[in-house]
Amino acid sequence: MADIGMAAFSVFFVQSPSFLAHQRQLCARGGHGRSNCETLFGMGSIPSDNHIRDMLDFVEPASLDELFDEALAAVERAGALSPLTGLDGRLLIALDGTEYFCSNKLSCPHCSTRQRANGVIEHFHTMLAASIVAPGHNRALPLPPEFVRPQDGHDKQDCESRAARRWLLAHGERYKRFDPVYLGDDLYSRQPVCEAVLASGGHFLFVCKPDSHKTLYEYLTGVEIASLSKGVKRGKQRATHAWRWMNAIPIRDGDDALIVNWLELTISNAKGEITYRNSFVSDLPIDASNVEALANAGRARWKIENETFNVLKTKGYNLEHNFGHGKRNLSSTLATLNLGNCSRPFGHAGIGRGFAARVNRMASRARRERRRAVSTTERMSA
């Protein structure tokens, strides 16, 4: 059987914008009379893109989850994980959703749908990505993703918040040993997600906007709030960083409201104009000794948007363009493979082979199942 997994992964590996161009490049003879596909990826023959598409469509994206952990373990073994920690040796895990597919023509059973004002129905896919980030680092190490998609037994459309809670339930236990702090935008700083984080054994540090947390901000008015500020000089620019914080306030209205700790960072320039302001809630106690580190950690979240999602969006659309949307899992599997490729900058070259082996096993199982289904149909019609 042709090496489907490696053929698919090699597309991500070389980050080819076009599968056809990639195939030609692979077929080109290298220096020793061997094709690039033989020397680079150890492939004997190149399967057609149709064949790859059909096989990958059978692969459940969750079956690739372990490979993210293998990549993480390799980074840990290489001693490259500790520079990525923050807040007293904890891992910062940023959760964020991104829409990586949208069409009013193509769809699959895992598509979410919405109706536009002009009546057009759009089909789309959103991925919840989890990545290890660190202040001062411009790379994010991906962990297994979760997909926003219609769930069995639920009438309601799935959403990012529910996907985040599924992610925590599925993976939180495994990452508990890193004493993780989960980062997320204002969508996450609601009681159900915060409780899910605590139940998984982690901590949270989520953006908390005044508009969406009216009760919490009422507690901040008319009282004295602890604060700290310092002048920061970067090149010729002078700025003032000011922090404010308050511990033990309710995240929402009601007797069962979760009690959280709040902090805010305001940056103003030499003229006194505010250039940045953001606030966060956390379960971690805040004081003058850690407020700056907490604010820096909270701000590290933007990396997942800039690093991971740029790759997913630009490369992801290319991949959909080349492989199509599939009838089962193709769209999500391609997105997962693409995300898996983001761990390459950490020097873990083995992830490609791991993905390939996994995809090959899945593909052969799919072939067996399909054969069995065909023979049952034949028996029944005989």
Would you tell me which residues interact with Zn ion (CB under 5 A)? 108, 111, 331
Shortest Å distance, C-beta 58 to Zn ion: 15
Between 108 and 295, name the residue whose CB sits nearer to Zn ion: 108
Between 10 and 126, name the residue whose CB sits nearer to Zn ion: 126
Distance CA 91, CA 128 (A): 18
**Residue 115's CB: how many other CB atoms inside 10 A?**
9
Cβ pair 225, 246 in contact under 8 A: yes
Pairing of strands 181-184, 203-207: parallel
Distance CA 256, CA 259 (A): 9
Distance CA 148, CA 162 (A): 8
> 262 CB contacts (<8 Å, ≥6 apart)?
208, 216, 220, 245, 246, 247, 249, 279, 280, 281, 286
Distance CA 105, CA 178 (A): 44
Shortest Å distance, C-beta 109 to Zn ion: 7
The continuous run of DSSP H or E covering 102 comes out as: strand 90-103
Structure tokens at 152: 């069995």
Between 55 and 92, name the residue whose CB sits nearer to Zn ion: 55
Between 39 and 113, name the residue whose CB sits nearer to Zn ion: 113
Shortest Å distance, C-beta 9 to Zn ion: 22
DSSP 307: I
Between 168 and 330, name the residue whose CB sits nearer to Zn ion: 330
Q: Give residue 67's identity as a one-letter amino acid code.
A: L
Between 200 and 333, name the residue whose CB sits nearer to Zn ion: 333
Terminal C-alpha separation, the chain: 30
Shortest Å distance, C-beta 332 to Zn ion: 8
Between 142 and 326, name the residue whose CB sits nearer to Zn ion: 326
Distance CA 213, CA 20 (A): 51
Shortest Å distance, C-beta 331 to Zn ion: 5
Closest to 22 (Cα-Cα) out of 57, 2, 42, 47 = 47
Closest to 40 (Cα-Cα) out of 315, 356, 302, 306 = 356
Distance CA 34, CA 41 (A): 12
Shortest Å distance, C-beta 111 to Zn ion: 3
Shortest Å distance, C-beta 107 to Zn ion: 5
Between 152 and 255, name the residue whose CB sits nearer to Zn ion: 152
Residue with tokens 């993905």: 355
Shortest Å distance, C-beta 209 to Zn ion: 31
Between 125 and 203, name the residue whose CB sits nearer to Zn ion: 125
Shortest Å distance, C-beta 23 to Zn ion: 25
